Chain A
Amino acid sequence: MKAGRRVRDAIGQIQGAGAPLARVESAAAETQDARCCMTVAPQALRRCAAAWRLSGRSPAPPCSCSAVRMATFRHKNAKRIEGLDKNVWVAFTSVAADPTVVNLGQGYPDVPPPSYVKEGLAQAARVDRMNQYTRGFGHPSLVKALSQVYGTVCGRQLDPFKEILVTVGGYGSLFSCMQALVDEGDEVIIIEPFFDCYVPMVRMAGAKPVLIPLRPKSGMKTTSSSADWVLDQEELASKFNSKTKAILINTPNNPLGKIFAREELQAIADLCIKHDTLCFSDEVYEWLVYRGHQHVKIATLPGMWERTVTIGSAGKTFSVTGWKLGWSIGPEHLVRHLQTVWQNTLYTCPTPLQEAVAQGLQKDFQRMGRPDCYFSSLAAELEAKRDRMAGILCSAGMAPVVPEGGYFMIADVTALNQDLSHMQEDEPYDYRFNKWMIKEKKLAGIPMTAFCGDDTKRQFEKYIRFCFIKQDATLDAAEAILKNWSQQTSV
Chain B
Amino acid sequence: VAPWRVGIQTGNLLITDVSCFTLFQVTMSRQLHARRLEGIDKNIWVEFTQLAADYKAVNLGQGFPDFSPPAFIQEAFCKAVGGGCTMHQYTRAFGHPPLVKILAKFFGRVLGRDIDPWEDILVTVGAYEALFCSFQALIDEGDEVIIIEPFFDCYQPMVKMAGGTAVYVPLRPVSSGMALSSADWILSPEELEGKFTPRTKAIVINTPNNPLGKVFQKEELQVIADLCVKHDVVCISDEVYEWLTYDGAKHVKIASLPGMWERTVTIGSAGKTFSATGWKVGWAVGPRRVMTHLKTVHQNSIYHSATAAQEAVAVGFQREYDCFGTKESYLKQLPEMLHHKRLRLAQCLQSVGLQPILPQGGYFMIADISSLSDAQDEPYDYRFVKWLIKEKGLATIPVSAFYSPEHQKDFQNYIRFCFVKENATLNAAEEILKQWNIRELK
Q: Which residues of A contact B (CB under 8 A)?
A: 34, 38, 59, 62-64, 66, 69-75, 77-81, 84-85, 87, 89-90, 93, 106, 108-113, 118, 121-122, 125-126, 128-136, 156-157, 168-169, 171-172, 175, 179-184, 197, 200-201, 204-205, 273, 276, 302-303, 305-307, 319-325, 331, 333-334, 336-337, 340-341, 343-353
Determine if A345 and B129 form an interchain contact, defined as CB atoms under 8 angstroms apart. Answer: yes
Determine if B92 and A131 form an interchain contact, defined as CB atoms under 8 angstroms apart. Answer: no
Nearest Cβ in chain B — how far from A468, in angstroms?
A: 15
- In the bound complex, residues from chain A placing their C-beta under 8 Å from that of B229 are 69-71
- In the bound complex, residues from chain B placing their C-beta under 8 Å from that of A343 are 43, 45-46
A489 to B88, CA, bound (A): 36
- B residues 29-62 with Cβ under 8 Å of A? 29, 31-37, 40-41, 43, 45-46, 49, 62
A34 to B74, CA, bound (A): 41
A311 to B243, CA, bound (A): 39
- In the bound complex, residues from chain B placing their C-beta under 8 Å from that of A303 are 17, 22, 24, 26
A75 to B202, CA, bound (A): 10
User: 1/0 contact trace for B300-323 toward A, CB 8 Å?
Assistant: 111111111100000000000000
Q: Is B224 interfacial (CB-CB < 8 Å)?
A: no
Query: How many residues does chain B have at the interface if contact means C-beta atoms less than 8 Å apart?
Result: 100
Determine if B85 and A183 form an interchain contact, defined as CB atoms under 8 angstroms apart. Answer: no
- In the bound complex, residues from chain A placing their C-beta under 8 Å from that of B67 are 128
Q: Could you give 11 example pairs across A and B, Cβ below 8 Å?
A: A63-B258, A73-B262, A75-B289, A132-B278, A175-B301, A181-B33, A181-B34, A204-B301, A306-B15, A324-B306, A353-B308
Nearest Cβ in chain B — how far from A79, in angstroms?
A: 6
- B residues 227-275 with Cβ under 8 Å of A? 229-230, 232, 234, 258-259, 261-263, 275
A325 to B309, CA, bound (A): 13
A73 to B306, CA, bound (A): 34
Q: Which of B133-141, B179-187, B340-348, B349-357 contacts A (4 or more CB under 8 A)?
A: B133-141
Nearest Cβ in chain A — how far from B157, in angstroms?
A: 5
- In the bound complex, residues from chain B placing their C-beta under 8 Å from that of A38 are 262
Other than the given A74-B232, A353-B308, 20 more pairs (CB < 8 A) read A34-B261, A34-B262, A62-B222, A62-B258, A64-B259, A75-B234, A77-B296, A78-B137, A78-B162, A81-B136, A118-B82, A133-B62, A175-B302, A276-B27, A303-B24, A321-B89, A322-B308, A346-B125, A350-B279, A350-B309
- In the bound complex, residues from chain A placing their C-beta under 8 Å from that of B41 are 336, 340
Residue of A nearest to B65 (CB): A132
- In the bound complex, residues from chain A placing their C-beta under 8 Å from that of B29 are 276
Determine if B37 and A341 form an interchain contact, defined as CB atoms under 8 angstroms apart. Answer: yes
Determine if B262 and A197 form an interchain contact, defined as CB atoms under 8 angstroms apart. Answer: no
A235 to B224, CA, bound (A): 58
Residue from the list A71, A77, A87, A345 in contact with B230, Cβ < 8 A: A71
Residue of B nearest to A171 (CB): B303
Q: Is B161 interfacial (CB-CB < 8 Å)?
A: yes
- In the bound complex, residues from chain B placing their C-beta under 8 Å from that of A73 are 232, 262-263, 289
- In the bound complex, residues from chain A placing their C-beta under 8 Å from that of B296 are 77, 81, 84-85
Determine if B232 and A171 form an interchain contact, defined as CB atoms under 8 angstroms apart. Answer: no
- B residues 274-295 with Cβ under 8 Å of A? 275-280, 289-290, 292-293, 295
A78 to B161, CA, bound (A): 13
Nearest Cβ in chain A — how far from B137, in angstroms?
A: 6
Determine if A78 and B138 form an interchain contact, defined as CB atoms under 8 angstroms apart. Answer: yes
Determine if B300 and A175 form an interchain contact, defined as CB atoms under 8 angstroms apart. Answer: yes
Residue of A nearest to B258 (CB): A64
Residue of B nearest to A135 (CB): B49
Q: Is B194 interfacial (CB-CB < 8 Å)?
A: no
A78 to B81, CA, bound (A): 38
- In the bound complex, residues from chain A placing their C-beta under 8 Å from that of B129 are 345-346
Residue of B nearest to A342 (CB): B43
Residue from the list A74, A130, A344, A347 in contact with B126, Cβ < 8 A: A347
Determine if A180 and B81 form an interchain contact, defined as CB atoms under 8 angstroms apart. Answer: no
Nearest Cβ in chain B — how far from A348, in angstroms?
A: 7
A133-B278, A347-B154 known; A180-B297 Cβ under 8 A = no
Residue of A nearest to B132 (CB): A345
Nearest Cβ in chain B — how far from A58, in angstroms?
A: 12
Determine if B64 and A133 form an interchain contact, defined as CB atoms under 8 angstroms apart. Answer: yes
Residue from the list B68, B300, B308 in contact with A81, Cβ < 8 A: B300
User: 1/0 contact trace for B56-87 toward A, CB 8 Å?
Assistant: 00000010111111000010011001100111
A197 to B304, CA, bound (A): 13
- In the bound complex, residues from chain A placing their C-beta under 8 Å from that of B162 are 78
Determine if B32 and A126 form an interchain contact, defined as CB atoms under 8 angstroms apart. Answer: no
Residue of A nearest to B276 (CB): A131
Q: Is B188 interfacial (CB-CB < 8 Å)?
A: no
- In the bound complex, residues from chain A placing their C-beta under 8 Å from that of B65 are 132
Determine if B89 and A320 form an interchain contact, defined as CB atoms under 8 angstroms apart. Answer: yes
Determine if B303 and A197 form an interchain contact, defined as CB atoms under 8 angstroms apart. Answer: yes
Q: Is B13 interfacial (CB-CB < 8 Å)?
A: yes
Q: Is B147 interfacial (CB-CB < 8 Å)?
A: no
Determine if A108 and B2 form an interchain contact, defined as CB atoms under 8 angstroms apart. Answer: no
A66 to B41, CA, bound (A): 44
- In the bound complex, residues from chain A placing their C-beta under 8 Å from that of B45 are 136, 343, 347
A350 to B68, CA, bound (A): 16
- In the bound complex, residues from chain A placing their C-beta under 8 Å from that of B93 are 87, 89-90, 93
Q: Is B436 interfacial (CB-CB < 8 Å)?
A: no
Determine if A346 and B22 form an interchain contact, defined as CB atoms under 8 angstroms apart. Answer: no
A171-B302, A333-B32 known; A350-B280 Cβ under 8 A = yes
Most A CB atoms within 10 A — which of B13, B234, B296? B296
Q: Is B217 interfacial (CB-CB < 8 Å)?
A: no
A111 to B65, CA, bound (A): 36
- In the bound complex, residues from chain A placing their C-beta under 8 Å from that of B26 are 273, 276, 303, 306-307
Residue of B nearest to A139 (CB): B278
